[in-house]
Amino acid sequence: MTRLTSCLLFIVAYSTSFAQSGEATIIDARHYSNVFGEIRNYRIFLPPGHQENPEKRYPVIYYFHGWSQRYFGSTSHTSVGIDKGDDNNGDNIANYVAVHDVIVVKPDGYNRNPEDEYYLRPYNVSPVETNRQFPIYFPELVEYIDANYPTIADRDHRAVSGLSMGGFMTFWIGGKYPHLVSAAGNFCGSTEFWVGPKNSPAEYRHMDMYNNYNGMNVRLNYGDKDFIRYYHQDMNNIWTQIMDNYEYKIYNAAHSTCGLSEMYDFILETFENPPEKPINWHHTDVYPGFSVWGYDIESDRDASGLTVLENVNKRGFRCSVREFLPDGECMPSVELSVTTAPIYEKNTAYTITDIGYNGRGISQHVIKSGNSGRLKIHLNGGFHEIGINEPQALPNICMASYRIENMNWATQGKEVSISVQLLNKGGTIAEGVKVKLLETRGSAQVIIGETSYGNISVNEKSDPQHPFTFIVQSDSIEIERFKLLITDENNNKWSESLDVPLRTDRPKITEFEIADGKLFEVAEAGDDTLSVFLGVGNGDGVPNPGESIVILIKDQNLYRRTYLYSNDTFVNSSGINIRISDNWGSYDHVGGSAKYSIPVLSSDCPQNHIIDFFAEYWLPDYPNHIIRRGKVSIEVKGNDSTPPIVQWVKVLGDNVIQAKVYDGGKIQYVRAKLSSQEFPEKFLEVELYDHGQGGDRAEGDHVFSKKIPEQKFGLYKMEISAADSFGNTMVESKTDVVVLQ
């Protein structure tokens, strides 16, 4: 049966149409995909001589097409072909393959179910409409192509490229699989989409994902008339300051595969000198489970979020699950496991040091590697710094955190004082620790670049004897990357990158409104308006302790919601960080979004306390979005009269009720009342807790939970009630029917 199946698949793949374009052979072919459960189409471009010399192997570039296009070309008269002949003014795939030893594969991005209406949007992104996940299909396609064509089947000779939505996929797939590809070339790609599992999609912004490209070469080509170009400029403001392996070029062109030959030359040069696997690597993924660089990550996350691995090496890693990047709230209620690559001694005991969520406690336990030399480490979705140590292990120093000492945030044109806290997650004391701060771009001037820490004991955090200082003069630098060189008296050495966001020193914004539970008409989706109830509080426009507010700035005669940053201890003091997206896709057809914040004011904020925010909002100037920034100061007055807020409620399959509830202060109780639909007079009332016991997975994560006793199977309606320490109460009936068993 196995041999028959293999033969049938081979026939399916090669019973196809053949065409010649110059000296390149173009084959339209198909294969069966286990990921999609159907036949999938692709077009492949093979170089001249591949049939005469069957032993010769070629590197491979995968090309992902854009909106309205298919593997065979375009379904829209507005799209320009890039396959052969005079397509793209002759700068096309077939003509390139005709004179270069390379294979190009153009998979079909069409991603609707066979019975669905025809749809021009490929890849199932923004919006995520089905469970058909194209990125999960990519490794299967690679395996099939390598098995059936004369490829050099390794990451050093494999790359991805694509146009527009396919350009977005290029960076997403390249960043998701750095162990499979060595280069990623993006033509005019969108920079932001909602992606991932259908029931829990995440907002994926390339701007935030620069750490995914360790060990790759990355390039962006775009036109000076491209309608997406302003989003590219936003991304370049970050990527050029962070990534040594990134380049871009602007062409005299609109939205197209401008500079295709130059892009493919860049990729072929990468094949000639491929980047090595990084010693320390980072990875962020939207999927609850994934594999990268030989590590397997599994979780039970069923909500929108991102799993973040940082500074991964043989001695340990940093791990968290966040709602968004870069500073989204951690999700400790998620259960997570990390299975390492087979890089450890087989059947050997290792001490795992876990500096846990928000620095609450340190735990150590011993696990044993298996016959494969892998370690499986169980965590939750909170913030973890993990040390992996053999008996008598050396010290292992890493950066724990940093803080700006002399101002609210690092500002261009001003001397910045910054303290870096270090952590020893190794097995022995680090003696006489010293650190140097080095600039990496030439845009920063380090003024005080050396400091000492003395001895750092095992599992100890240590502050420096004095801060570093630096200055960045250019107001166009939005983030500055430094290198930390760490040494001790025993000649142990470590290095880490330190990325410091910079904010402009703009005039203070004095004209604004506080939305604290009030109806406003605001700008929406670029050039539209929306009447919406914003904030949570008494609606008097005065920021009170315990309220969740939105700061509105009036510009061009419309209120603009603002994205806010503050390091004030009375803002989001319990770890809550709420960010909402205002999608501008209907305005500029890109998929990007302006963000706005809903900061929670602490219940114990002193009277007349001044809170400084750095505010940002967008203005439309098609196809541009003008970003306005400035400082906003508010004065907090009054008392906490705001009850707790319920974000969501779930009932898990093991009869665990979870409710995400937050407040500006301490929550006294959260209760759930469940009434049977069959017998309304019968109900069950339980108190939910956030103490890490009795079905509650993590203490202090705002998720109140309770495992209730086994019930008769049935459908129930739920009511949630809560109160804070000031006696403010709320009761909310949930419309969804829940199942207990």
3-state secondary structure 71-94: CCEECCCCCCCCCCCCHHHHCCHH
Confidence label for 670 from pLDDT (cuts 50, 70 and 90): very high
| pLDDT tens sequence across 582-613 | 999 999 999 899 999 999 999 999 999 999 99
d(CA 704, CA 258): 53
Give me the amino acid identity at 717.
Answer: K
Fold of domain 397-501: Immunoglobulin-like (2.60.40)
**Mean pLDDT (whole number) for 95-109:** 97
Place of tokens 């250019």: 474
Q: At residue 19, does pLDDT exceed 50? A: no
> Is 76's pLDDT higher than 80?
no
What pLDDT is attached to residue 362?
85
Alpha-carbon span 217 to 184, nearest angstrom: 6
Mean local confidence (pLDDT), 620-642: 96
Residue 359 has pLDDT above 70, yes or no: no
| pLDDT at residue number 741 | 61
- pLDDT tier at 736 (50, 70, 90 boundaries)? confident
The C-alpha angle 466, 471, 475, rounded to 5 degrees, equals 145
**Tens digits of residue pLDDT in 486-500:** 999 999 999 999 999
C-alpha distances (whole Å) from 64 to each of 12, 72, 137 are 22, 12, 13
Q: Which pLDDT score is estimated for 22? A: 52
CB 413 within 8 A of CB 437: no
Q: Is the pLDDT of residue 31 over 90?
A: yes
Q: Identify the pLDDT of residue 393.
A: 85
> What distance in Å separates the CA atoms of residue 323 and residue 209, rounded to the nearest whole number?
14
Q: Domain limits of the chain?
A: 2-272, 281-389, 397-501, 513-636, 645-740
Please give the Cα distance from 684 to 690 (Å, whole number).
20
Structurally, what CATH architecture does the domain formed by 2-272 represent? 3-Layer(aba) Sandwich (3.40)
Element (H, E) at 260: helix 260-272
Mean pLDDT of the chain: 92
Backbone angles phi, psi at 266, to 5 degrees: -60, -40
Strands 593-597, 609-621: pairing kind: unpaired
**In the predicted model, is pLDDT for residue 723 greater than 90?**
yes
Query: What pLDDT digit, counting tens, does each position of 33-61 carry?
Result: 999 999 999 999 999 999 889 899 999 99
DSSP state of 484: E
How far, in Å, CA of 467 to CA of 465, rounded? 7
Distance (Å, rounded) from C-alpha 547 to C-alpha 154?
Answer: 55
640-651: pLDDT as tens digits? 999 999 999 988
Interstrand relation of 362-368 and 202-205 (parallel, antiparallel or unpaired): unpaired
Check for a shared fold between 2-272 and 397-501.
no
Q: Are 696 and 703 in contact (CB under 8 A)?
A: yes
Query: Does residue 3 have a pLDDT over 50?
Result: no
Report the C-alpha gap between 678 and 715 in whole angstroms: 8
Classified as helix, coil or strand, 5 is helix
pLDDT for 17 beyond 70: no
Among 358-362, 473-477, 594-598, name the most confident range: 594-598
> 530 by DSSP, 3-state: which?
strand
Q: Which residues contact 485 (CB under 8 A, 6 or more apart)?
A: 435, 436, 438, 493, 495
In the chain the first and final C-alpha atoms are separated, in Å, by 43
Q: Show the 3-state SS of 90-155.
A: HCCHHHHHHCCCCEEEEECCCCCCCCCCCCCCCCCCCCCCCCCCHHHHHHHHHHHHHHHCCECCCH
- Where b means 16+ CB within 10 Å and e means fewer, 229-268 reads bbbbebbbebbbbbbebbebebbebebbbbbbbebbebbb
Q: What is the pLDDT averaged over residues 341-350?
A: 95
Give the 3-state secondary structure of residue 235: helix
pLDDT above 70 (res 70): yes
Residue 574 has pLDDT above 90, yes or no: no
For residue 6, pLDDT over 50 is answered with: no
Edge-to-edge strands, sheet with 656-662:
645-651, 656-662, 703-707
How far apart CA 27 and CA 309 sit, in angstroms, is 40
DSSP letters, 265-312, are HHHHHHHHSPPPPPSSEEEEESSSSEEETTEEEEE---SS-EEEEEEE
pLDDT tens for 514-547 read: 999 999 999 999 999 999 999 999 999 999 999 9
CA 654 to chain centre: 30
% of the chain residues with pLDDT over 70: 95
The torsion of the CA quartet 389, 395, 399, 400, rounded to 10 degrees, works out to 70
Per-residue pLDDT at 14: 37
Q: Is the pLDDT of residue 20 over 80?
A: no
Give the pTM: 0.93
Rounded distance between C-alpha atoms, residue 305 and residue 324, angstroms: 6
Q: Cα–Cα distance between 703 and 330 in angstroms, integer?
A: 11
What's residue 708's pLDDT? Answer: 83
Task: Identify the band that residue 360 occupies on the pLDDT scale cut at 50, 70 and 90.
Answer: low
Residue that wins the pLDDT comparison between 650 and 502: 502
Tell me the fold of 645-740.
Immunoglobulin-like (2.60.40)
164: left (phi over 0), alpha (psi -120 to 50) or beta: left
Q: Which residues contact 165 (CB under 8 A, 6 or more apart)?
A: 64, 66, 67, 109, 121, 122, 123, 125, 189, 190, 193
Amino acid 737: pLDDT = 72
Q: Token pair 């070629």 is at which residue?
A: 58
* Residue 38 token pair: 């159907």
Give the number of other CB atoms < 10 A from CB of residue 457. 12
